[in-house]
Amino acid sequence: MNKSLIADATESKSWPFEEARKIIKRLEKNKKDIVFETGYGPSGLPHIGTFGEVARTSMVRFALKTLDSSIESKIICFSDDMDGLRKVPDNIPNQKVLEDNLEKPLSTIPDPYGKYKSYAEHNNSLLKDFLNQFGFEYEFMSATEQYLSGNFDNTLKDIMQNYDAISNIILPTLGEARRETYSPFLPICEETGRVLMAKVLEADKEKNTILYQNDRTNKEVETSVLKGKCKLQWKVDWAMRWVSLGVDYEMAGKDLIESVNLSSKICRALGKVPPEGFNYELFLDQNGEKISKSKGNGITINEWLKYANPESLSLYMYQKPRRAKKLSFDVIPKAVDEYQTFLEKYSSQTVPEQLNNPVFHIHNGQPNSFKVPVSFALILNLVNASQADNKDVLWGFIKGYIGDISEDAEVYINQLLGYALSYFNDFVLPKKSYREASEKEIGYLEELVSRFSKLDKNSEAETIQTIVYDIGKEAEYENLRDWFMALYQILLGQEQGPRFGSFVALYGIDKTCELINRAIKKELI
């Protein structure tokens, strides 16, 4: 790694480098391997928040590699698939399958989709498919496999030895009724297969067994805490994983701050240092509510990828992770264009600037920077005005506007055209609402046609924009944004759009004059 690059990375203010420097500080002498962990609860379909955790963790991992290439590291993507299903998600078919198996480990519940051996395996497979699609490097790990194989047994024995100390960490955080029955261990009933919230009567630290009261049968049952006979309460389970897997770094949502603190205390009670990490803000749906696996609100990964490139999603995850962000379909066009802007800037930036550019982290330090002469927003408005329903028609406008382009840019634009057609048909077209121009506005539109008609057909966007701007000033709009909004409402049936001069240059002056004349004649209403 270039020494100058490392020096600049050491001073970089980008959050992945800040997090990587925290990890380096915690390194013990002679320790040269770092374990990152991300968690997933497969009680519902994986959503973008789950993806975001892996994407962000991968960025921190690459930042660490940039700072010190001698450090080996890996990401464990851990699925808590031995957790008992507490409620049936709203967005799952054949819900009776899940209703009949409430409280059972997710890995033992039949797949309601009928594709896999279990509900957990179905959701785990979806998650892995998404992560593989983005090329993330990770090691997938199943809680069920780890418990049943005995890989957690040594740490489970340590928890038994510290049973009282761990209980005393959790008990003050619980209500009176729950304190009466709380135990770090949740026995799995041998008769029903359910994960029981049972009262533990006795914990035998020598035999590594617990004696509990089965509320369904009212019998006292003794069971081992090893080899998957019990499942840990999740805050204790989290700490157990940190200890057993040697986790050095794990981030979590802001809603889990208390859980992180409690798990860290448990980790210390077991004689280990809890991992580094930071708490990111939550994603919100279009109504400002937290996105949830059980509700199925917000955007799925597949939905985003139907309307935009994967890099735009990675950018959305990179930006301002400690600030709550709305995760709805209207954020997609902006994310696409912001990614394109960052990519184009990269090649002309200094090294310190590049290290703060999101595309450095999205592309593991090797972004392919090239100029793209049209924005996604501009293409969307071209689809709107032209009523095109295929890429060939759109290419006809674009090639007349931009001339020769690089092979990279052509491939990229071709992808954008497909995304734009899908996005327009699903989100723009259903909401299109043209308004009629007022008498004054008709006069301004006629003046626009008159001046456009005198222009050279190959006039540049800035020349066109100046004409539009001048007419707005002559019309004495207090705020010129109102003039441009009027153009979008009257001509395109929407509230906003890209720079109008660029749109006209792309769509064509003659075509734009035809569009304006149709609006004057009220043919667009």
The series of mean pLDDT values per 10 residues for the chain, 525 residues long, is: 83 96 84 92 85 95 95 96 93 93 97 96 94 94 98 98 96 91 94 93 96 88 97 97 97 94 97 94 76 65 92 95 87 96 96 96 95 94 93 93 89 97 94 93 96 93 95 93 95 89 94 95 86
For residue 293, what pLDDT is reported? 57
Asked if 277 contacts 304 with a C-beta cutoff of 8 angstroms, the reply is no
Domain 3-283 fold: Rossmann fold (3.40.50)
Cα separation, 178 vs 183, in Å, equals 10
Cα separation, 454 vs 448, in Å, equals 10
For residue 194, what pLDDT is reported? 96
For residue 382, what pLDDT is reported? 95
User: What global pTM score does this model have?
Assistant: 0.92
| Gyration radius (Cα) of the chain, Å | 29
For residue 294, what pLDDT is reported? 56
**All residues at 6 or more sequence positions from 261 whose CB lies less than 8 Å from its CB, including other chains:** none
* CATH code of the domain made up of 433-520: 1.10.10.350
Tell me how far CA of residue 149 lies from CA of 143, 244, 477, in angstroms.
10, 13, 73
According to DSSP, the β-strands at 209-214 and 279-280 are unpaired
For residue 91, what pLDDT is reported? 84
> Which residues in the chain are classed under CATH 3.40.50.620?
3-283
For residue 196, what pLDDT is reported? 94
For residue 296, what pLDDT is reported? 60
For residue 424, what pLDDT is reported? 95
Cα separation, 308 vs 231, in Å, equals 41
Q: Of how many residues is the chain composed?
A: 525
187-190 long-range Cβ contacts below 8 angstroms, 24+ apart: 187/212, 187/221, 187/223, 187/229, 187/230, 188/105, 188/223, 188/228, 188/229, 188/230, 188/231, 189/214, 189/216, 190/221, 190/223
For residue 292, what pLDDT is reported? 65
Cα separation, 330 vs 496, in Å, equals 12
For residue 45, what pLDDT is reported? 83
